[in-house]
Every structure is written in C-alpha cells, then in structure tokens.
Structure 1
Amino acid sequence: MATAHAATPGVAGPPGRRPLLTLLRRPTAVKLLALALIAAVAVPVVHARWSGAPWPGALTVDLTAPLGEVNDWIIANRDSHPLFLYFLGHLSNAVVLSVRGVYLLLLALGWAGVTAVAAVMAWRAAGSRLALTAAVSFVVCGLLGMWVPTMQTLALMVVAVLASVALGVLLGLAAGLSDRTFRALRPVLDTMQVLPAFAYLLPVALVFGIGVPGAVLATVVYAAPPMARLTALGLRGADPGVMEAVSSLGATGRQRLLTARLPLARKELLLGLNQTIMMALSMAVIASVIGAGGLGDRVYQALSSVDVGAALAAGIPIVLLAVVLDRTTEAAGRRVGAEPTGPAVLRGARGWGLAAVIVAAVVVVGRFTGGRIWPEGAIVAVAGPVNTAKEWMVDHLYTGVPVIGGTADWAAHFTNWILNPLRSGLQGLPWWSVLLIVAALAWTIGTWRTALTAVLALAAIGVLGVWEPSMDTLSQVVAAVAVTLVIGFATAVGAARSERFERLLRPVLDVFQTMPQFVYLIPVVALFGVGRAPAAAAAVVYALPAVIRITTQGLRGVDPAAMECARSLGATRGQQLRQVQLPLARPALLLAVNQGVVLVLAVVIIGALVGSGGLGYLVVLGLAQGDLATGLVAGAAIVCLGLMLDRVTQPTTRTARKES
C-alpha cells in the first residue's frame, strides 16, 4: 500500500543540499560566487592575452605628450588668447588685488590692531577665555618671528574663505531647493570630499601658473564642498510645520527662503563656515608648493632642507591659527538660538559698538607707537635650540638604544618588515588579480555600482601608465590604515567603556582634528628622519582622531536593551563587546574605516615632501621641474586611487549616515 508523505515545513530539499541552500541565502556568498563565475570565464582569456605582473603596455595610453602640448599652448597664449585676456586674466588680477588689499589692511592695523580684532571676535563669540587664547596665539606668532608670514596666510585665507562661502552657498541653495540639482550635485560633492589636497594643485597650476591666483583658486575649490553640502542639508531639513505655516500666510518663495528656511538653517550654515575655514587653512598651507607663500612656504622650505627648527617655528603659528579659528566659529554656532547672557551693555549692537571702539583705540595707539610690524627686538629664536635638540636626538635616540632600539631602528624595521613586502607583493601580483580583489571587497561591503566604480578607477590608473607608483602608494596606505585601525579601535573601546578616559581624550582629539595635514610632517621628521615610514606615521596620527571618535560614538550608540539582555545572560565584558557591541556598531565601524582610509591617503600623498615616494613624488617632481604633464598624470592617478579606496570601504547606507 502506497504511503503518502507530507512535506515537512522548512525543509527545502535533501539533507546534502541544505548547507548549500543556507549559504546561498547569504548575500555576501552570492556576490562572491557570482564574481568567481565571472573570473572563471574572464581570467583565462585575459591571462592568455596580457599576462605578467605589471600593467600591460598594450593597455596603456601615453598622455604625457598631449598634456605637454596643452601646457606649451597655455604658456604661449597666456598673454594673447581672448580666454586669458578677457576672463582668466581678469580673474587672476582680481585675486591678486584682493589678497594684496587684505594684506595691506592687516599691515595697516598693525600687530596690536590685528591681535585686538582677533581677541574681540573671540570674546563676542565665546567669552573672555577664548579671547585671551586668541590674543596669546597672535602674540606667539610675533614672538616666533612669523608675523609677516602669518598675515600673508591670513590674507590669502580671507579671500579664499569669502569666495568659498559664496560659491558654497549658491550651490547649496540650488541643491536645497531642487531635488534634481541635489541628486546631481551629491555624487560630485562626495567625490570632491574624498580627494587628497594634492589632486587640486596641478590643474590650477596648469591654467594660472605658479603663484597666488592658482593657490587661492585651488583653496576655493577644495573648501567649497562642505559649505555647499551643509547649506543644502540645512535648507532641506527645515521644519515642515514652520514651512507650512509660512506658506499658509501667503508668503512667496523668496519670502519663505529669507524668513524661514535660512533662519532655520543657521546652525548648519555656521557649521559649514567652520568646516570651510578649516579646510581653507589646510589647503592654504599645502598650496605653498605652487607659490601660496606665507607660513606654508616657510614649512615647505624648511622640510626641503630638513631644518626641523625652522619648520617648527612656522608650524606652531599654523596650529594656533587653526585652534583659534575652529574654537571661535564652533562657539558662534553653539550660541545660535541661545539666550544672550552678560550685562545688557555688552549685548547686541551695543556690544559690537564697544568692541569697535576698543579696536579703534588699540589701532591708533599702535600706529603712534610704530607698531605696524612686530618689532625685531621682541623675536625669540627657537630654530637654533630645536635643531640642537634634534641633533641630540639623532645622536642618542635614533639608534643604539638598548632593548627597545632607536626611532630610526623602528622606522627601518617598519619599512623592511611591512612596507617593502607589501609593495613587492602588490607590484608582483598579476594586475587582473588586484582588480578582482578590489571588486570583491567593494561588492561585499557595498553594491555592484560601487564595485564597478572602484574597478574602473583602478583600471584607469593602469591605463595612465603609473601602475607601479600607485601600488607603492597603495602599500603605504594599507600599512598605515592597519596600524590606525588597531590603535583607533582599541582606544575607542576604552573610551566607550570609561567616561573619565573619554573626557581626558576629548581635548586631545579636538586639537589634533584642527591641525592641518602639513603640520604632522614636522614632528615625524624630527623623530624618524625622512622616508616612507615617517610619512606613514604622520598619516596614522592624522587619521586616528576621526577613527576614535566615530568608533566610540558607534559603540556607545548600541541599544541599551541589547546590552542589558547580554548582561542578564551572564556574558562577560569581552563577550558583550564581540557578540553584541561590534556587530550592532558595524555601520559605524565601516564608516570609521572609510574615513581612516581617506585621511591616510591624503597624508601619504603629501608625505612625498619627506620621502614617501609613489604618486606624491611624481606630483612634487612635476612641480619642481616644471613638467606639469607628468604631475597631471600622477594627479589624475591620485584622483582615481582616492575614488577607488573610498568605494572599496563605502558602506551601502553611507549616504544616509553622512547626511544625518
């Protein structure tokens, strides 16, 4: 007699097929399987036609000659072509006149007047403590003999920040009021914000030449994206209830913008101003390699001759400027919408009037006492003692230290045991295998679109003919990111568990996050000398604050109910971390990895100034020898490498988190 067997619910097939079906339910496994099938078909064909480790010459396009012809044409026609005579020439002259005008104004105020202006602005924004900090900071700039370079940097920054804010607000208005414009601008702003600063220098140097106009315009392009993004997000995040109420009163579109959207977006606008100022300062310092002058030029010249004392004397004012500007604009943003405090005479227009009177009095007194420029007799020479200390370190700490070894020994070990094997491995791998690894990483973390973008960006590097220098740079990025993540995650776990440790760590991270990239090269040169290891060390220190902050916030943002449930089940602190916090904080961890990679790449590129080699060296070489074609090819490869690294570490839901 036949027996009818009912299908058991939840059983999808014979027992031997269950593990395979379970595996196929996992999206990551499906992606990797699909990529393996593609590789199984494509790799034999590609290997048979273009075998070998380096990128094949048949797939390389030589752009040096065409770019050289473009460079020659620009040089030959700069004084005669209508494009330069009637547009670019006028733009360049306007930039020069603006910077010179601001510089002459700062000199006319005198050192006492500029110090008073900075102190009064800080006082009005954040109170007497920050005012004292601002005044002391500018006095220190004078004591170090860096008053004139500081004024040059400030003049360039004022012009660049005004132009960046104007451009950013215009783009932000367009994106904030139009969904189509927002969708079109968002990927452009995303890409611009992950590119290293060096990538912006060569194009403007090609068009405007070496000098202040190119430096200012590179700074504007670099600093405008955060203002545009935050303006758009502020306008789009306006309270719908308020907007509905304004519309019901019959307000026009212009009235709704001026009376509702912009006032509601004040905090975002001030945050955008803060970020624009900090990025402008960072770029104004780096742009010294194309003739920006000021403090950055002093650091650049000192690093070129390994003069640590002179570099430190110029680096300290940069750090002080960064701290004062960041704290002032941050405090102004916090005070938006808050109730005014203090005596009535110091509030509103009365307070500003009193501040103007104080500044005017200081300026007049300073001019009558001959205080236009910081007096020579009041300069404290620090370069000599610092260089003496550096020589002592070379003699006693660089090598030969018992048991632990010297700093030069550490740098040599890191280079020989980590950087060299990584570089050899990446340069020795078949080029198609590197593309497959990138595709697997990008597709596993993100989507097929991000994977395709990453692969195309990496392939473009090979087409440009700079595969091996790019692998050199990539090896330094991978090594520095690994060290950054190990230190950053361990520190973040401690900060997430201990309120006291987090409070102690916060001011340190605040200061480190305000310092421009260029400044990090000074201490590593003093400690480790020049080479790839010092550049990697600078990159690690620069990226650590962002990684620690993001990871700490992610771990602390884990659902308290999940943690309480784990504790009630008897989980140890280690088990809570591994099985609850880390899995639930995965989006924050991926974002920390993404930001760490982007920040490390930025410093590894400028690390060419201290001997890191790779793509950054080609850019510096092109600028130094006037071979802009070579520099532009390397700059394009830097853009592609930055885009690839961003996409490889880009979580699927990154856009929503970034906007929030």
Structure 2
Amino acid sequence: MTAATGTTARTGSEPTGPQGTPGGSGGPGGPGTSGTSASAAGLAATLRRRPGLGKLLLLAVFAAVLVPLALTRWPGTVWPEALTVDLSAPLGSASDWIIDNRDSHPLFLYFFGYLSNAVVLSVRGVYLLLLAMGWAGVTAAAGLIAWRVAGVRLALTAAVSVALCGVLGMWIPTMQTLSLMIVAVAASVVVGALLGLAAGLSDRLHRVLRPVLDTMQVLPAFAYLLPVVLIFGIGVPAAVLATVVYAAPPMARLTALGLRDADGGVMEAVTSLGATARQRLLTARLPLARKQLLLGLNQTIMMALSMAVIASVIGAGGLGDRVYQALASVDVGAALAAGLPIVLLAVVLDRTTAAAGSGLDRPPASSAAGRLRTGWRGWAAVVVAAALVAFAGRLAGRLDWPESWIANIAEPVNSAVDWMTAHLYSGVPVIGGTADWAGHFTTWVLDPLRGGLQALPWWALLLVVAALALLIGTWQTALTAVLALAAIGVLGVWKPSLDTLSQVLAAVAVTLVIGFATGIAAARSARFEALLRPVLDVFQTLPQFVYLIPVVALFGVGRAPAVAAAVVYALPAVVRITTQGLRQVDPAALESARSLGATSGQQLRQVQLPLAGPALRLALNQGVVLVLAVVIIGGLVGGGALGYDVVFGLAQGDLATGLVAGAAIVCLGLMLDRVTQPTERRGGDRKGA
C-alpha cells in the first residue's frame, strides 16, 4: 500500500512534457515517442478512411523520384521526339500494297471479291422487293408488323411515319437506305450474336473480345472508312461493311451479357436433368437472354441508322447522300427534308423493337382478336395482308409515291434559316448576335483552355490524369488512363490532341450545365418531361450532318460551331440519364426530408442529388463519350485538330494521317472514360473504404 501510494505520488509530482510523456523527454523511447506514435496512428486512420489520399501520397512519392529522372533524360515541356514512333512509312507501304494487289491477289479475288458480290446482290434484292411492293405495300407492312408486336396505336404511328417519307418527296431514297440498312443490320446481328455467343460461353474469349469491341465502338467511323474503301472501293459493299463494324458491338456486348447473367438456379436445374451443353444453350440460356438480345437488336438498328449519312461519303446513296449533297451546297431545307425520314425510320424501328422486348412479359391474350395477333397466326396474317395490299397497288399501277402528294418543305425552311441568319447572326442589339457569342466563347474559353493544356509539361499532364483516375478508381484504371494519354504522344500527335481535348472539355462543361438544369426541371415536372420527350427523340436520332448546317449558319465556321454541334448531340443523353436518376431516388428518403420541414430546394440539394450521384456520374461519362464522337464532324466545320486530320486522310487517301488521328481519338476516349467513370474497388480498397 505504501509503495503504491508513493509511486502514485511520485508520478503525480513529476512534470509532464507537452506530449504527456513524463519529463517531456525522459521516456525510454526517446523524445516525443508517444506523440509520434499518436500522429502515426492518426495518419493511418485517416488513410484507412480515405484510401484515395494514400494513393495520391504514393503517387507523389513516385513523381518526386521519376520526374527529375525524366527531365534529365528528356528536357522540355513538349512530348519528347525521342519517344515518338513514325507510322507513316509502314502504313504507307500497306496502303500501296493494297492498291497494287487489289485486282490480282487471291485474297481479294476469292474472299473480298465474293464478299463484295454477296453484299451487292443482297442489297439489290431487298431494294427490288421493296420497289415491287410499292408504297402501299411497304406502308401496310410497316403498320402490320407494328400491330403484330404492340397493337393498334403503334401500327398507326408506323404507317403514318413511313407515309411521311413519301410526303417529304424522299420515297425512293428512303427505300435505298432501308434496303441497305436491312442487309447491314442483318449482318451486324449475325456477327454480333456469334461474337457475343463466344464471349458469353468462354471467359477467355470474353477477356480477349472486350478490348476489341471497345476499339470498334470508340474508333471514329471516318477512321475505318479509309481502309474499307482501300479494300472494297467506293460503293455499297464498303458502306455496308463499315456499318457492320460500327453497329455489331452492341449486339455482341448484350448477347454476352444475357448469356453470362442467366439464372444460376435454372441452369443448375437443367444440368441436373442431364442436358448437354447444346441443349442447355438452346433451351435455357438463349430463352433467358431474350430481352438482352432484343435490346441488342434495338441498339444495332439505331447505330446502323446513325451511319447512314457517314456511309454516304463512300457511295452508300439514299437519304445519306441527299443530306451530304445538301451540306455541300448549304441547303438547310433539302438537308432537313432528307434527314427527317431517317428520324422517322429510327423512331418506328426503335418503338417496334422496344415493344417487342416489353411484350415478352405480357401474359397470353385471352380475346379472339388478341389470339389472332399473337403467335404464328399473327405473322401469317401480316404476310397475307401485306401481300394483298401490295398486289392491289400493282393492279392499280401505283407503285411509286404520287407526285401530287408531295409537300415541299425546303423553301419555308430555307426562308426561316435566312431570317435567323439575318437577324440573329449579327443583328441582335445590346447582347450581340450569335457570331459575337461564338467569337467571345472562342476568345474567353477555347483559346485559354487550349493554351493552358499545351503549355503544361507533358509529365504534368500524365500526373494529373493519374491523380484523377486514382481518386475515382483503382491502380489499374490509372495505369490504363496514363498509358492511353502517353500513346498519343508516342503517335506524334500531342499538340493536335490537346487542341481536341480543349474542345471536348469545353463542350462537356456546357453540356453538363444545360443538361443537368434541364434534367432537374424534367424530373420535377411530369408535364415538362412529356413536352421534352419528342424533342429529345428528334435530336437523338437526327443525323449529325443535318444540324451542322443551321449551326454553321448561326455561328459561322470555327471551333465554336464544332463545340455547339457536340453539345446538341450529347445533350439528349445527359438530360435523359439525369431525369431518370432523379426520378429513381427512394421516395421514403424524400418523404423523410419533407417531414423534417425541408424545402423543395433543400430536398433537391441534400437528398435527390446525393442519392442520384451514380446516375449523374454516368451522365458525365456519356456526355464525354458522345462529345468525342462528334470530333470528326466538327473537323468539317472548322474544328481542326484530330477531326480535320481524319477527314483529310479520308479525302486524300492518306492511310497514315487518317488512322493515326483516329487512333489518337480512341486513346483520348479511353483516357476520358477512365477518369470519368468510377471503377469498383476490390480487395484492400473495399476494406479500407
């Protein structure tokens, strides 16, 4: 007792240091040992709570070591010439070899030649069939197929939409485009389904095909038009095959997704019954994946139609060629008259395939009319009725659309555009016209942004990209983003790529400001959303070339109209995703906020926006990807940089310039995708989070 008391007294009488250690520096561990341990423990706890901070600290350590070494070896701020690879010689040699051997080599004579002939015969056969059916037969067939899939309302929509193609005076070009799209979509579905089947049944093939599909989907269409033209020449085969390359990936991805996500319980039950692998595929996997397959068909059709105008550059003809010719002569009315049928076809095909997918969950029809419409009887009725209408049209001698039923919209549209150009381009008092806005946007936003990016040292940009990718993803994400950006320098297009990047960042910023504001308004008002939906449908399906013309008329030629075109193209997706994300917020959370007296603005800021964070990040990601997709189109209206290089390469037959610029755009897209789309953390990251 005495010893203990003495000890206690002695301990209590000793002076304590600033860290609470007896004597401040007399502990066995040296001066401030306990304080250092506490600080280390606090830092470790902070790093466990915020794993991204630890990654950034580690990145800073690596940068402190590697940057001085890099500057010693490669001084300067521009990407070092020693780290570039000149691909012009090998790509030029490949182009020369193709041109020299296209008419004599067995590969072209007995493979590409037969493939080209098959495409030509298929497209011509479908086109002649559509012409033989006449306008009445085609219109009736469209309405009857829609009736078989979804009912009377969609049938009327389909029939009226197809008839409007004739009213606009575009019946023959519409049939040309439709025949090419039917063959291209059929080939895309077959190729995509086979690739998806392989990826869905084999993990190894899935890992191999994923980067291939990524490249096919991100590579600008203009970039692979050039090698396709070199092999097949100008004409329908090149247009169809370019469309297949562009439209097959969605079918492949969704087929693989449907097969890989098949219900495990059902598959186990089928396996326990002794079914072979082929039987499991035909009786279980494919039926369970029907929705994904139909969604893949829907996306393939939409992407094939979006290629209609681009494919016209290499001889596809049809509506795309009319739009392209109107663009060359700056005829907005003619471009709109040719572009609207593409929109109408897209709306009809989109609604029909979407209705087919949703119809899989409907119970069997009970009425006599419903039973007639469903099953094989429905398809038999469609075929018989369409054949009778087509036969009646032939007897009446009315195969072509009557000229007296054509409405000329080109003149009033051109008059409206002329008025807008005269009064809005430079004639708006006080606030200035659209030409002034474009000039100010270029001077105050695009020029400083481009100058800032190009002034940054190359290693600093790599570090910024790595830091952004680490904050929202994993080490693998950051490594992919950094390698993608470094590949741009290796290709020797560092400065034009930064010019393109500045335009993309500016367009994304404008798109997000307008898109988030519009999406919030649509989510808070059902009436506003209903009014906005048809507008978004039109903007999402209208060919990019069509709205380039009014953009140029209003803003002139330069980087600003290229940004405006990108904003118009990407805005519908951002608005839709934002609206859907806000509407899907848990109603219980909103009710709880209202019960606590939160105002409408507080509910939006403190409940809806935080809970809709994943959807908003997806909107950001899709905005970036879609803006980048218009880079090539922007090159046609003065955007310059990589877009101009791709178009120049196609126009001049310069494989090196076109493909290198296209590959740089792919790398930009990959880098931007990795720094805008969060990656699920695994292992230690998840535990630390």
TM-score, with length taken from structure 2 = 0.88
Q: Residue type matched to 1:539 in 2?
A: A
Kindly indicate whether the alpha-carbon contact (under 8 Å) linking 1:484 and 1:544 is maintained by their aligned counterparts in 2: yes
Q: State the distance in 1 between where 2:542 and 2:616 align.
A: 24
Look up the match of 2:239: 215
Task: Find 1:428's aligned residue among 449, 455, 461.
Answer: 455
Q: State the distance in 2 between where 1:530 and 1:101 align.
A: 42
Q: Residue type matched to 1:614 in 2?
A: A
Structure 2 counterparts to residues 255-334 of structure 1, below 5 A: 255-334=279-358
State the shift of 1:579 in Å: 4.1
Structure 1 residue 591 corresponds to structure 2 residue 618: yes
CA deviation profile, 1:543-602 (whole Å, cap 9, x unmatched): 222222323333344445555555555554444444444344333222221111001110
State the shift of 1:238 in Å: 2.5
Kindly indicate whether the alpha-carbon contact (under 8 Å) linking 1:567 and 1:576 is maintained by their aligned counterparts in 2: yes
CA deviation profile, 1:163-182 (whole Å, cap 9, x unmatched): 11111111222222233333
Q: State the distance in 2 between where 1:167 and 1:251 align.
A: 27
Evaluate the alpha carbon distance shift between residue 491 and residue 590 of structure 1 in structure 2; reply closer, same or farther with a 3 A threshold: same
Secondary structure at the counterpart of residue 667 of structure 2: helix
Evaluate the alpha carbon distance shift between residue 19 and residue 561 of structure 1 in structure 2; reply closer, same or farther with a 3 A threshold: farther
Evaluate the alpha carbon distance shift between residue 138 and residue 583 of structure 1 in structure 2; reply closer, same or farther with a 3 A threshold: closer
State the shift of 1:363 in Å: 1.4
Q: State the distance in 2 between where 1:263 and 1:527 align.
A: 51
Per mean C-alpha deviation after superposition, the further-off stretch among 428-437 and 326-335 is: 428-437
Evaluate the alpha carbon distance shift between residue 373 and residue 65 of structure 1 in structure 2; reply closer, same or farther with a 3 A threshold: farther
Structure 1 residue 31 corresponds to structure 2 residue 58: no
CA deviation profile, 1:127-176 (whole Å, cap 9, x unmatched): 22222222222222223222222122111111111111111111222222
Per mean C-alpha deviation after superposition, the further-off stretch among 625-634 and 176-185 is: 176-185
Look up the match of 1:621: 648
Per mean C-alpha deviation after superposition, the further-off stretch among 37-46 and 182-191 is: 182-191
Structure 2 counterparts to residues 394-543 of structure 1, below 5 A: 394-543=421-570
CA deviation profile, 1:274-293 (whole Å, cap 9, x unmatched): 11111111123322222222
CA deviation profile, 1:588-631 (whole Å, cap 9, x unmatched): 22222111100111023222222222211111112222223211
Look up the match of 2:24: none
Evaluate the alpha carbon distance shift between residue 33 and residue 571 of structure 1 in structure 2; reply closer, same or farther with a 3 A threshold: farther
Kindly indicate whether the alpha-carbon contact (under 8 Å) linking 2:223 and 2:650 is maintained by their aligned counterparts in 1: no
Q: Residue type matched to 2:302 in 1?
A: M
Q: Residue type matched to 2:399 in 1?
A: R
Secondary structure at the counterpart of residue 197 of structure 2: helix
Q: State the distance in 2 between where 1:654 and 1:379 align.
A: 59
Evaluate the alpha carbon distance shift between residue 175 and residue 523 of structure 1 in structure 2; reply closer, same or farther with a 3 A threshold: same
Kindly indicate whether the alpha-carbon contact (under 8 Å) linking 2:516 and 2:574 is maintained by their aligned counterparts in 1: yes
State the shift of 1:250 in Å: 3.0
Per mean C-alpha deviation after superposition, the further-off stretch among 266-275 and 47-56 is: 47-56
Q: State the distance in 1 between where 2:98 and 2:415 align.
A: 47
Evaluate the alpha carbon distance shift between residue 208 and residue 52 of structure 1 in structure 2; reply closer, same or farther with a 3 A threshold: farther
Look up the match of 2:3: none
Q: Which runs of 5+ in 1 are unaligned?
A: 656-660
Per mean C-alpha deviation after superposition, the further-off stretch among 306-315 and 363-372 is: 363-372
Q: Which runs of 5+ in 2 are unaligned?
A: 1-6, 22-33, 683-689
Per mean C-alpha deviation after superposition, the further-off stretch among 634-643 and 575-584 is: 575-584
Evaluate the alpha carbon distance shift between residue 654 and residue 313 of structure 1 in structure 2; reply closer, same or farther with a 3 A threshold: farther
Structure 2 counterparts to residues 597-608 of structure 1, below 5 A: 597-608=624-635
Secondary structure at the counterpart of residue 428 of structure 2: coil
Task: Find 2:187's aligned residue among 151, 163, 167.
Answer: 163
Q: State the distance in 2 between where 1:272 and 1:102 align.
A: 23
Q: Residue type matched to 1:423 in 2?
A: R
Kindly indicate whether the alpha-carbon contact (under 8 Å) linking 1:309 and 1:382 is maintained by their aligned counterparts in 2: yes
Structure 2 counterparts to residues 232-271 of structure 1, below 5 A: 232-271=256-295
Q: State the distance in 2 between where 1:654 and 1:167 align.
A: 33
RMSD of equivalent CA atoms = 2.7
Structure 1 residue 229 corresponds to structure 2 residue 256: no
Look up the match of 1:658: none
Evaluate the alpha carbon distance shift between residue 186 and residue 284 of structure 1 in structure 2; reply closer, same or farther with a 3 A threshold: same
State the shift of 1:212 in Å: 1.9
Kindly indicate whether the alpha-carbon contact (under 8 Å) linking 1:28 and 1:444 is maintained by their aligned counterparts in 2: yes
Secondary structure at the counterpart of residue 612 of structure 1: coil
Evaluate the alpha carbon distance shift between residue 135 and residue 453 of structure 1 in structure 2; reply closer, same or farther with a 3 A threshold: same
Structure 1 residue 609 corresponds to structure 2 residue 636: yes
Kindly indicate whether the alpha-carbon contact (under 8 Å) linking 2:590 and 2:603 is maintained by their aligned counterparts in 1: yes
Per mean C-alpha deviation after superposition, the further-off stretch among 463-472 and 555-564 is: 555-564
Q: State the distance in 2 between where 1:623 and 1:195 align.
A: 14
Look up the match of 1:649: 676
Structure 2 counterparts to residues 48-59 of structure 1, below 5 A: 48-59=72-83
Larger Rg over CA atoms:
2
Evaluate the alpha carbon distance shift between residue 556 and residue 115 of structure 1 in structure 2; reply closer, same or farther with a 3 A threshold: closer
State the shift of 1:502 in Å: 3.8
Q: State the distance in 1 between where 2:276 and 2:610 align.
A: 49
Q: State the distance in 2 between where 1:560 and 1:111 align.
A: 50
Secondary structure at the counterpart of residue 451 of structure 1: helix
Evaluate the alpha carbon distance shift between residue 211 and residue 48 of structure 1 in structure 2; reply closer, same or farther with a 3 A threshold: farther
Kindly indicate whether the alpha-carbon contact (under 8 Å) linking 1:591 and 1:654 is maintained by their aligned counterparts in 2: no
TM-score, with length taken from structure 1 = 0.91
